[in-house]
Structure 1
């Protein structure tokens, strides 16, 4: 699979001819909304087996083979080259595809209102072949130990058709916010916990969930050990009933990191008790904060490397956003919130505003600036094929279990193509 970055003056048909594919294949693969008006800096996935690489100054067969993880002899023979001769600058090399490794893939889905919208059902159907788990968000814990369920409609049948395991997300959401007080109430009352676990198990069995996923956030720091005790208790019952147990973790960089979102999440205990964890490695750039990448590669790596010091990589799923943000400038703390948008919408916005897309190689994220109709400046950070491929490469380098997406319903077709190009998705 080739990732192509549109340069000034390029057309879709010229790009298709360069790679020897039909332009309609590129349109379909990338769900291009305006194929005749490509955006400078826009990335597209070219649906070919393997990829092409043009030799740059300083390249050698050895350096290219290491970069792409291809045996040097295979690279030389495939391109009918001598191992000992220098490579001409600009020579096009064919890079054959490497072996794929197994990975688990999860995606949260968040229905709003009384039913799962048709657009969310379509998003789940499109993503399901690439998923191990589908996680409707969320079953909200009530103070009497009961659960308030989200609308599910036909999500179970969508999952079943593609061999996807349903993940039952259990949260301490109350009045649309993660509640430390609800957490305190549940985590310090064994009788309520018994009732809650019984309801979780009965509900999971009745609705066909096979993984129980605890996403308790914004807990009081003093409830750290209470949460640990609850998870140990939950694991004993849940595993006895034949279910998996997973948890969501805030993106910490050390055991001593403190804060409302961090202190109560004990990576070591979660790694011991849970079958796997999902680490929320996103939201550095967030709707109420200053403009910056949502999941910059440096901070993401730092969190994952800390996690590996507390648990094996086989238990870690890296979190990944399927969205970006559009900030109105100048940023004012406590002012207007940034608007979330999908990667596809970001490209359409750049086209509408005649903005070229830039790429930050330090953070490994695309971005652009524009001026709206009222003369206000904007900054947009989002995801593209380059930024997601960098995350896949990190996942493989660190030997992680897989990747988890927040959340379905924001179109990013290149992501699913690259999942298939990089991994053999495990079905449970």
Structure 2
């Protein structure tokens, strides 16, 4: 496996000749489209491996029920778990299923011997994380028992293999109550052979301030759940300034702290399967970035005729372009930035990775993952 960074004189044919592989394989692996133009600075995966996925680490992918069947079938061979996003609940602990049927996703996961997971989120009526809803649940034993009973019923009826608890913006005063809730769910479901995981905001210190962090007790939650997902993405986000979505320096800080609180074999790191396109100049509270797929980002650079740059410190690709007299800045993921994350998994002997999300196919990512963890 090699990563080739495109130079001005490169063509798909010349690259294929250099590495002694077929042009068709380069085109397929990297999702190139006719007439197979390239961008200077574009990272291409050159893989001589066979096409059979090999599962050597745990790999989870989050997906909404409206994922296309084609994307799901292309992705499932590389996953060990498929997290269905998402179920909600009321303050009384009544489970709220997704608006669309999840049966197809669950059946397809089982067909590929992938464990389907029920993702539980505290969304309010506005579709955002609601910490008052969390507070009502974790401080009410009756509501908790009602929710657990309904989770068990849904797990059995639908054929899920476990629950992923994705609660964000937990009030600091609810920190211990939330940990107790996760412990309660885990102990109850484990007796029935279901697993429980919990998503953790990316803390880099035990005393880190902020609503995202103060309600999450890494040590307590790591002990309470079967495994955890570090949400190591969204440094660059919709309403923030242009920057890498998942900068490797920040991810490393989070992992270095996490392994002091949680066994490495229980930790998955989060990997974003997307990027952002910001209009410039950035103005706090006004500028809003557009979400963009990784393959889409490269095609945009090709269409605009601009070079793709690479931040060697943060291990992330980016580029700028002009459209309608407005300059844009795009940050996304490519095989170089993904390799840096895979290297971190190997360095710390982590459990694996969790992808937010798998709604768009990035084939080179899965081939790279396979080639890394043979």
Bucket of the pairwise TM-score, normalised by the shorter protein? over 0.9
- Unaligned stretches of 5+ residues in structure 2: none
In structure 2, what is the equivalent of residue 171 of structure 1?
121
Report the Cα distance in structure 2 between the residues aligned to 1:49 and 1:259, rounded to whole angstroms.
Answer: 45
Q: Secondary structure at the match of 2:82?
A: strand
* 1:140-219 correspondence runs (5 A): 140-150=88-98, 151=100, 152-175=102-125, 176-219=127-170
In structure 2, what is the equivalent of residue 126 of structure 1?
74
Offset, 1:141:
1.4
Offset, 1:411:
2.8
Task: Indicate yes or no: 2:274 matched with 1:288.
Answer: no
Q: Secondary structure at the match of 1:158?
A: helix
TM-score (norm 2): 0.96
In structure 2, what is the equivalent of residue 103 of structure 1?
57
Task: Indicate yes or no: 2:232 matched with 1:278.
Answer: no
In structure 2, what is the equivalent of residue 390 of structure 1?
340
Offset, 1:242:
1.4
Offset, 1:188:
0.6
Cα deviation digits, residues 192-218 of structure 1 (max 9, x gap): 111000001111111111121111111
Contact map agreement 1:252 1:262 (CA 8 A) in 2: yes
Query: After TM superposition, what 4+ stretches of structure 1 lie above 6 angstroms from structure 2?
Result: none
The higher radius of gyration belongs to: 1
Contact map agreement 2:165 2:198 (CA 8 A) in 1: yes
Offset, 1:219:
1.2
Cα deviation digits, residues 215-236 of structure 1 (max 9, x gap): 1111111000110121222122
Report the Cα distance in structure 2 between the residues aligned to 1:35 and 1:402, rounded to whole angstroms.
Answer: 37
In structure 2, what is the equivalent of residue 348 of structure 1?
299
In structure 2, what is the equivalent of residue 20 of structure 1?
20
Offset, 1:101:
8.8
Contact map agreement 2:55 2:78 (CA 8 A) in 1: no
Offset, 1:420:
0.9
Report the Cα distance in structure 2 between the residues aligned to 1:361 and 1:195, rounded to whole angstroms.
Answer: 50
Contact map agreement 2:75 2:361 (CA 8 A) in 1: no
Q: Secondary structure at the match of 1:352?
A: helix
- Unaligned stretches of 5+ residues in structure 1: 51-99
Q: Of 165, 174, 193, which residue of structure 2 is paired with 1:242?
A: 193
Offset, 1:410:
2.3
